[in-house]
A and B are shown apart, each in its own frame.
Chain A
Amino acid sequence: MKKYDVVTTISYPRKGAMGKTGSWRVFKPILNKERCVKCLRCWIFCPEGTITIKPDGSIDIDYEYCKGCGVCANVCAVKAITMEREEKK
């Protein structure tokens, strides 16, 4: 990737360019894998790309970067994702 040397605000695309944004979370999405039908609506709608698809087609949530916005829970057709208040560590 080409890097620029001018002093201004440039952000280069990479995972976690803005730091560990998972620390912003208040509510945490919890996936019920038995209910999940792998339709991938959550994967389509997640604004941060934190829904990952495993080789077997099942999904996972990357809590390092999930900000807890709740969009996935909202769009889930079978209500397999619930938002739970997270205790501060």
Chain B
Amino acid sequence: MRTIIDTGNKIAALAAKMAKPDVVAAYPITPQTTVVEGIAEYVERGEFDGDYICVESEHSAMSACIGAAAAGARTFTATSAHGLLLMHEMLHWAALARLPIVMVNVNRAIGPGWNIWSDQNDSIAQRDTGWIQFYCSSNQEIFDTIIQSYKLAEHRDIQLPVMVCYDGFILSHTSLPVKVPEQKEIDDFLPKREPRWILDVDNPITHGNIIMPKDYPPVRKAMQDAQERAKKLIPEISKEWRDRFGTYHGDLIERYRCEDADYILLSMAALGAESKVAIDDMRKNGLKIGLARIRVFRPFPREDILSLAKEAELIVLDRCISIGMEGVLFSEVKASLYGNVDTKVYGFIAGLGGKDVTYRDIREMCEKVMSGKYEGYGWYDIEG
């Protein structure tokens, strides 16, 4: 085990290399570019044994990963914002084909107006594709989650692709210390992939063929069942990692100072890390508030959220919006409570397009709710 200091993207490239994928296919896009550059550097130095395919677009990057994964390979790719949107069709394909591809998505706003800063609308818009989604709040969590994701995706009960998301620039280009295990230790944690089906010339099959209406619903249901099983497996993998390497970032959610809380703040990704500072600040002033950082958005941790809602009112922070409805996390949190408890839920939309959200802003939002002068959901600190 050694400790290094590097940016989120370079840490992602290192984690990807150490997971030993057979094939990496990727296309550069800001702010993901240095992930791809990092892997290209490993190839150039002879430190990466897999095939590195330079493709002409993100649609091709995902298609190449699908083809390779279907042939039994372990695969990796990374993208961001418009690149992710261009992959959309193939994201569905990867999940329906039950291919355990692992992809980094560096969260970035969608244009126009052209904007390269942090915003979760890109990956939240992919929530219905069948991919498992993690949102990371530190560079250590990026490293750990990428390796853990292979174990999860390739597990025989899961067989689904995993998207590891983190904030553009806030993490992607910020250097933080990260504990990195030895390659041998990673190899012991993550054995070689054992595919459930492969394209093999000696044993020919067609995959992705036409199926009749009666056969289609079971294919979808099998994905849903696998996501439900992932809810049990993610905590097991997180704990195994903690026992081996000492770092831990929560299971589906990370609870922070939730004991005896009257209010619980729910946020994701780097906003989750910033929220801890706000919680400490408010606790110092005697306010009974805790944090539940949503680490896994798919499968959605509805049981965890319901158990929190039995003890406290919920304040939801969204760095995304479903236009025509409301904050997406806000909607899903409320849906998790329906028919069980009638706990009040308050929502804020903040930080779109990389607008800075400091712990002071988070404290102000929480205090607004706790003063009893806030209802429903609204936009925080917006002009016009």
Q: Does A87 contact B (CB under 8 A)?
A: no
Count residues on chain B whose CB falls below 8 Å from chain A CBs: 18
With beta carbons under 8 angstroms apart, the residue of B196, B206, B207, B208 that contacts A13 is B206
Q: Is A9 an interface residue (CB 8 A)?
A: yes
* CB interface residues, A 47-80, toward B, < 8 Å: none
Tell me the complex Cα distance, A5–B211, Å: 16
Q: Tell whether, in the assembled complex, residue A7 and residue B197 are in contact, meaning their CB atoms are under 8 Å apart.
A: no
Task: Count CB-based A-B contacts (< 8 Å).
Answer: 44
Give the nearest-CB partner of A1 in chain B: B203
The answer on a CB contact under 8 Å between B219 and A7 is yes
Contact A6 B205 (CB under 8 A): no
CA distance A10 to B195 in the complex (A): 14
With a cutoff of 8 Å between Cβ atoms, the chain B residues found around residue A5 in the complex are: 196
B266 → A minimal CB distance (Å):
33
Q: Which of A2, A9, A11, A13 is the most central at the interface, judged by chain B CB atoms within 10 Å of its CB?
A: A9
B210 & A12 in contact (Cβ 8 Å cutoff): no
Bound together, the chains give a CA A13 to CA B159 distance in angstroms of 24
Q: Which of A1, A8, A12, A18 has the most CB of B within 10 A?
A: A8
Chain A interface size band reads 10 to 19
Minimum distance in angstroms from B197 CB to a CB of chain A:
4
Q: A1-33 CB contact bits vs B (8 Å, 1 = yes)? A: 110111111111100011000000000000000
Interface residue? B308 (CB, 8 A) = no
How far is A11 from B203 in the complex, measured between Cα atoms in Å?
12
Q: Which of B97, B196, B210 contacts A4 (CB 8 A)?
A: B196
Instruction: Using CB atoms, name the residue of chain A closest to B225.
Output: A7
Q: Chain B at the A interface: mostly helix, strand, loop or mixed? A: loop
Q: Does B334 contact A (CB under 8 A)?
A: no
A2 to B218, CA, bound (A): 22
Considering only CB atoms, which chain B residue lies closest to A2 in the complex? B203
Residue in A1, A2, A6, A9 whose CB lies within 8 Å of B211 = A9
Is the Cβ of B197 less than 8 Å from the Cβ of A4?
yes
Name the A residues within 8 Å of B211 (CB-CB).
Answer: 9
Alpha-carbon separation in the docked complex, A52 to B346 (Å): 71
Max chain B CB contacts within 10 Å: which of A10, A13, A18? A10
Digitize B84-109: 1 where CB-to-A-CB distance is under 8 Å, 0 elsewhere.
00000000000011100000000000
Give Cα A1 to B149, complex, Å: 32
- Say yes or no for B71: interface residue by CB 8 A criterion: no
B204 interface residue per 8 A CB criterion = yes
Closest to A5 in B: B196
Q: Which residues of B contact A11 (CB under 8 A)?
A: 205-207, 209
Interface residues of B in 179-209 (CB under 8 A from A): 196-197, 203-209
Residues of B in contact with A (beta carbons under 8 Å apart): 96-98, 159, 196-197, 203-211, 218-219, 222
Q: Which 10 A-B pairs have the closest CB atoms?
A: A7-B222, A4-B197, A11-B209, A6-B196, A11-B206, A8-B98, A2-B203, A10-B205, A9-B211, A6-B197
23 A-B contacts, Cβ less than 8 Å apart?
A: A1-B203, A2-B203, A4-B197, A4-B205, A5-B196, A6-B196, A7-B98, A7-B222, A8-B96, A8-B97, A8-B207, A8-B222, A9-B96, A9-B207, A9-B219, A10-B197, A10-B205, A10-B206, A10-B207, A11-B206, A13-B205, A17-B206, A18-B209
